[in-house]
Structure 1
Amino acid sequence: MNKAVFLDRDGVINEVLSNRVKFVNKPEQMYLLEGVGEGIKLLNDAGYQVFVVTNQGGVGLGYMKEEMLLKVHEKMKTDIEEYGGKIDDIIYCPHKPHAGCACRKPEPEMLHQLARKHQVSLKESFMVGDRDVDITAGKQAGTKTILIGDEEGLADFQFETLYEAAAWIIKNVT
C-alpha cells in the first residue's frame, strides 16, 4: 500500500481571500503560497503520493465552468513542477455548498476514491487543510490531520505553512 498526503487547495496551496485575489476562478488568479512547490517536492522525494482534494462550489453556483477549473488546476500543477514537485492526482466536488452530496468535505468520499484508485493506506497518510471541514474529512477517512494557519482547530498537528508541515512529516514520520 502507498502512503499519501491529501491537500486542500485554497489556503493551503494557493492564495485565497488575499490582497491579490478573492477567489480563484481563472488561471491568472492562481498564486502559490510561499514554499508550496518546495514542500510538495519534499513529500514526493520521501515517497508520498500527493493529491489535491478540493471543494469547488463555485462551479455549482455558476461562478466558473468546469472547463475553467481544469485550466486553473493545470496552471497549479505547472507552477508546482517549476519547483520539482508533482501532484499525482486531483479530485474536486463541483456541487453547491449544502447540496447534500457525498463528495463535499467534510464528507470523506473524495479521499476514499483516491485511496482506492491509487492503493493508498489511509492510516499511513495525512490530510492537510486550513479549515475544520478538511480536518473532519481526514479524520472520517482515517488519516492523520494537519491544520495550516494560526486558527485553533480539530487537527492532530498544526503548522503555519505547507512547507513546515512537509518538513515535519519527513523528519518525524518517514
Structure 2
Amino acid sequence: MPRPAEKRRPGVLLDRDGVLVRLVWRAGRWVSPRQLAEFALLPGAAAAVARLRAAGLPVVVVTNQPDLARGLLEKQTLAEMHRRLAAQLGVDAIYVCPHDDADGCACRKPRPGLLLAAARDFSLNLRRSFLVGDSWKDIAAGRAVGCLTVRVASPALEAELGRADFSAAGIGAAAELILRTLCRLPRRHRIADPVANRAARRVSRNLGLNRAVP
C-alpha cells in the first residue's frame, strides 16, 4: 500500500546524458553515446551523487534511450553502460524509456511515466523532490508531477529550454543547490541527516538561494 503523501520523502531524479554522462558530437550535433568507448562520466558526477546519498536522499536516473527503438544502440551495450554507471555512482536505480516518439508510450519524457514509477518504488513526495536535466523534455516531465526542476548547462543548446525553477552550471552545482534548498523546507520534508542539514544551513546563510521555496 502506498504511503500517505505526508510520510513520503524527497528524492533526486537525474537525467543521464548531459547531466551525468558526456554527450557525443556526431553528425553535427550533440547526442547520447552509442558505444562503450564513448561512455564517460562528466567531471564531478560521482562526488555530487555521493553527497546527495550521504544526506539520505534516494538518487535515481530517469533516461530516454530512443536509439534502442531506432536500432542504433544494442541492448547489451546499454546494459553494460548502466552496470558501469551503477558501479561508479552508486545510484539507487536507473529507469529507462526504450521507445521513440512515434511509439506513444507513457514513459518517454516529457511524459512523466519514469518519474511516477520512481516515486512509487521509493515512496517519494514528488512535490518535494528534484528533477535535474539539460533539456526541455526533462524540465517538462518534472513540472508535470510537481517536482522542483533544475536545468544544468549543456553543450546541446535548445531553442526551447523549458522554464526550470533553478539553473546550475553542472551536476556538482545542482547537488549543492538541492542540499541548500532542502534545508529551507518545512521540517517534515527535510533530509534525514542532521549534520547535512546544519551544513546546508551554513551554506544557505553564506551564499543565499536562487529561489525562495514556499
Q: Secondary structure at the match of 1:53?
A: strand
1:15 corresponding residue in structure 2 = 22
**Cα drift, residue 67 of structure 1:** 2.4
**Superposition map of 1:1-174 within 5 A:** 1-18=8-25, 23-80=32-89, 86-149=90-153, 153-174=162-183
- Cα shift readout 1:74-113 (whole Å, capped 9, x = no counterpart): 1122222xxxxx2000111101233221110000011001
- Quote the sequence identity (%): 34
Q: Which has the higher contact order (CA 8 A, sep 6+)?
A: 1
- Specify the structure having the higher radius of gyration (Cα): 2
Question: Number of aligned pairs?
Answer: 168
Structure 1 unmatched runs, 5+: 81-85
- For residue 91 of structure 1, what is the amino acid of its counterpart? Y
**Cα drift, residue 142 of structure 1:** 1.3
- For residue 68 of structure 2, what is the amino acid of its counterpart? V
RMSD: 1.7
2:187 corresponding residue in structure 1 = none
Q: TM-score, with normalisation over the residues of structure 2?
A: 0.74
Q: TM-score, with normalisation over the residues of structure 1?
A: 0.90
- 4+ runs of 1 displaced by more than 6 Å? none
- Cα shift readout 1:120-149 (whole Å, capped 9, x = no counterpart): 110110000000100000000111000001
